[in-house]
Amino acid sequence: MNMETIRNIISAGKAVLGIELGSTRIKAVLIGPESGSGCDHAPIASGDHTWENRLENGVWTYHLDDVWAGIQDAYANMVADVKAKYGVELTKLAAFGVSAMMHGYLPFDKDGKQICEFRTWRNTMTGEAAAELTDLLGFNIPQRWSIAHLYQAMLNGEAHVKDIDHLTTLAGYVHWQLSGKKVLGVGEASGMFPIDSEKCDYDQKMIDLVDSLAAVKGYEWKLRGILPEVQCAGEDAGVMTAEGAKLLDPTGKLEAGALMAPPEGDAGTGMAATNAVAVRTGNVSAGTSVFAMIVLEKMLSKVYPEIDMVTTPTGKPVAMVHCNNCTSDINAWAGMLKGFVDACGLNISMNDIYVNLFNAALEGEKDCGGVVNVPLFSGEPVVGLDEGRPMMVRMPDAKLTFQNFARSLVAGAMTSLKIGMDILVDENVQIDSLLGHGGYFKTPGVGQKILAAALKTPISVMETAGEGGPWGMALLAAYRVNGKRGETLEQYLNEYVFAGAAGSTIAPDAADAEGLDVYTAKFQQALAAEEAAVAEMK
């Protein structure tokens, strides 16, 4: 789109906005509408705000005042970007959608008053509840899920539980305040409570089981009375009210009336941003942590504690392998190397260090020459560890070259994910395409090639995934406007967003795959040393 076209879109109120509240950044992305030419909905402006969670009384939390200060700042920065680029004022939106970190616990009473601190996904205080619910429901309930937090509060006998009138997530809360509607997109809802994919709703049999537990403990509420209504992508999630518009834009310039998309979690927006919402597709998001989401043709044969079951924004079942550790150890070693070259008086940038480190990984031996990196800064449930101690181990005859060292870092970052994904291989899960995004893939071709070999699946990287979750949320908001014509979300993304999108695909190399299988076996042997380090190093 040329500048004049973009100005007209903004002035006419046809632009669409997505905002995502991540763990360290709130970002707003404005996109244009569909034009029918393919590769539509490119970002035309953006703004962000940096924030941090707080550890208060042993609980990881965010204050709701900080939520609104951050959203307003991100929106204001996006508006300023519009003004600077196009010389026009943004006063009206066609549609809007909000997404955020999934899971957590945010309860309110009948007067809309928050009655407990916001307990985020990061808290690991619900082990007893998660284990009991998993056994009761026959469904893996991770500690970070909302229902685990609720049941743990019940087990703890916390006084506020009896007063809960509405329990929601961060995205659900913001949407409620902007629109007055207590709803969630099904992908976000799947991080609160298990979903019946055929009905795009909470699983009623499991609802009944938990209601029975609550009744025995004397609570008068029912889950369906306190949980948000579930909606699939494209459904009517209300409009932005005048109060909501003023909350988003305190200057009062933004008009009410924008169509609201069902609020989604960061998993669902990542699927939309990578066109991974159809069966047999998936995506890998790799940065500080790494997770893979695969859209399934059918449910898995049994419960696996290593695998979360969530859904796409249209309710299809998704197997998620989530690992807490990915690039942190690479970053630490890169920092050490920067210190070395600085000590040598060399003028080498951090970017050059990363590029050379990743490229050297392609020159190492296929199995890393016996050098094994265990990059666990924190616990890693996929390999059964509650804490981490980053370590590198090798046999005396290992070949400790720079290339093997570099390859062990890049491969080690993905080995826990490979271990979890191998479960899906044993379940005969078929994957036609897998798209990677995140900092791990920044150096062209390297992360792609190693992950393709590790998972024995072609890995694609698209240029259009660069804006990530907030762009994905904007796409879902655009679908709220245009999807009423009858296209499925899959058709909409294929035909109007990703048609002709630029990118690259790397197929797995057989020799690389064999070498990484050998490396993974050594990695698993080294976990005994990791366990000993966790036990002894305090």
Q: What is the pLDDT of residues 464-514, one digit of tens each?
A: 555 578 999 999 999 999 876 788 999 999 888 888 777 899 999 999 999
Beta bridge partners of 18: 29, 97
pLDDT at residue 36, as a whole number: 53
Question: Which of these, 80, 51, 54, lies nearest to 68 by C-alpha position?
Answer: 51
Q: What is the mean pLDDT of residues 253-258?
A: 98
pLDDT at residue 495, as a whole number: 86
Q: Average per-residue pLDDT in the chain?
A: 93
Instruction: Assess whether pLDDT exceeds 50 at residue 38.
Output: no
Instruction: Assess whether pLDDT exceeds 90 at residue 524.
Output: yes
- The upper half-sphere exposure of residue 371, i.e. CA atoms within 13 Å in the direction of its Cβ, equals 22
State the Cα–Cα distance between residues 247 and 254, nearest whole angstrom. Answer: 10
Structure token digits, residue 432: 């036609």
State the Cα–Cα distance between residues 317 and 277, nearest whole angstrom. Answer: 10
pLDDT at residue 467, as a whole number: 59
| SS3 state at 45 | strand
Q: What is the mean pLDDT of residues 30-50?
A: 80
Task: Give yes or no for a contact between 479 and 489, defined as CB atoms under 8 angstroms apart.
Answer: yes
Query: Residue 369 region, left (φ>0) first, then alpha (ψ -120 to 50), else beta?
Result: left
Instruction: Assess whether pLDDT exceeds 70 at residue 176.
Output: yes
pLDDT at residue 72, as a whole number: 98
Instruction: Assess whether pLDDT exceeds 90 at residue 354.
Output: yes
pLDDT at residue 124, as a whole number: 82
Which residue shows structure tokens 């995502």? 20
Q: What is the mean pLDDT of residues 167-191?
A: 98
Instruction: Work out whether the CA dihedral 290, 275, 282, 202 comes out positive or negative.
Output: positive
Instruction: Assess whether pLDDT exceeds 80 at residue 40.
Output: no
Q: How confident is the model at residue 462 (pLDDT cuts 50, 70, 90)?
A: confident
Q: Is pLDDT larger for residue 185 or for residue 39?
A: 185
Structure token digits, residue 3: 């500048």
CATH for 3-323+463-497? Answer: 3.30.420.40
Q: What is the mean pLDDT of residues 148-154?
A: 98
Instruction: Work out whether the CA dihedral 146, 149, 153, 155 comes out positive or negative.
Output: positive
Task: Give yes or no for a contact between 312 and 295, defined as CB atoms under 8 angstroms apart.
Answer: yes
Q: How does pLDDT run across 109-126, given as a tens digit for each residue?
A: 999 999 999 999 888 899
Where are any strands of DSSP class E within 413-514?
433-437, 459-462, 503-506
Kindly write down the DSSP assignment for every residue of 99-119, as one continuous string: EE----BEEE-TTS-B-S--B
pLDDT at residue 39, as a whole number: 47
Task: Give yes or no for a contact between 328 and 377, defined as CB atoms under 8 angstroms apart.
Answer: yes
State the Cα–Cα distance between residues 352 and 356, nearest whole angstrom. Answer: 6
- The upper half-sphere exposure of residue 119, i.e. CA atoms within 13 Å in the direction of its Cβ, equals 25
Task: Give yes or no for a contact between 409 and 356, defined as CB atoms under 8 angstroms apart.
Answer: no
Q: How does pLDDT run across 260-308, given as a tens digit for each residue?
A: 999 999 989 989 988 999 999 999 988 888 889 999 999 899 999 889 9
Q: What is the CA radius of gyration of the chain?
A: 23
* pTM exceeds 0.75: yes
State the Cα–Cα distance between residues 452 and 410, nearest whole angstrom. Answer: 13
Instruction: Assess whether pLDDT exceeds 90 at residue 438.
Output: no
Candidate from 21-25, 221-225, 285-289 with smallest mean pLDDT:
285-289
